[in-house]
Amino acid sequence: MRVLGIDPGLTRCGFGVVDGAPGHSPQLVAVDVVRTDAGTEIAYRLLRLEHAFEDWITEHRPDVVAVERVFAQHNVQTVMGTAQAAGVAMLVAARHQLPVALHTPSEVKAAITGSGRADKAQVGQMVTRILRLDVTPKPADAADALALAICHVWRGSASDRITRATAASAEQAARQRRAYALARQQLPAPGAPA
């Protein structure tokens, strides 16, 4: 499975792609940070991010996009920019008919380090170790994006299978309802001559 991890941010947005499967060591495909100028109008900053998301999805062809779930912070301005960037990432993924998984920061930290309270340095060190890198990806947004992708490979693949199975079951039930309705239409009305 190939996962594109997105650490959303309006000023710095982390992108990380890994290949992996549960029980196997994930492999680094690509990592980077896209920056937008704080002096530019927000709409154009979001447009810049939209182009970057398109480029990454087109180039790396992920199976799923894992985005950090936005949570309330003390700085409302920061959380708004983060939420807007996350929304654009989800929109682009939907345009490409890719499933989107949202993971909380503490869920990602727990998956990567074993502690939901790990700091950014600990997450970076573990990402470096897990992916067998020579150096920790910088800035922290890059390491966080890879951590999201790794977390999804390890934890999200089971929920992906459940989602697909549920969808398949719902489709099968819908087919059965359509077949039943069609069969009822073909039966003669009660009291009608056969």
Q: How many angstroms separate the CA atoms of 51 and 57, rounded?
A: 10
> In the structure encoding, which two tokens stand for residue 31, read together?
């990592």
**Which one is predicted more confidently, 85 or 188?**
85
Whether the CB-CB separation of 163 and 152 falls below 8 Å is answered with: no
Q: Check 7, 19, 55, 171 and give the catalytic one.
A: 7
- As a whole number, mean pLDDT of residues 70-90 equals 87
Is residue 107 a known part of a binding site?
no
User: What is residue 180's predicted lDDT score, i.e. its pLDDT?
Assistant: 75
Catalytic residue among 68, 144, 160, 171: 68
Band of the pLDDT at 135, cuts 50, 70, 90? very high
| Residue 160 is a catalytic residue | no
Give the confidence band of 192 by pLDDT, cuts at 50, 70, 90: low
The question of whether 7 is a catalytic residue gets the answer yes
- How many other C-beta atoms lie within 10 A of the C-beta of residue 127? 27
* Average pLDDT of the chain to the nearest whole number: 90
pLDDT score for 177: 80
- Residues 88-105 pLDDT 10s: 999 999 999 999 999 999
Domains of the chain from N-terminus onward: 2-164 (3.30.420.10)
134 counts as catalytic? no
Which residue is catalytic, options 19, 119, 141, 144? 141
Known binding residue 7? Answer is yes
- For 141-154, what is each residue's pLDDT tens digit? 999 999 999 999 99
Cβ atoms 7, 136 nearer than 8 A: no
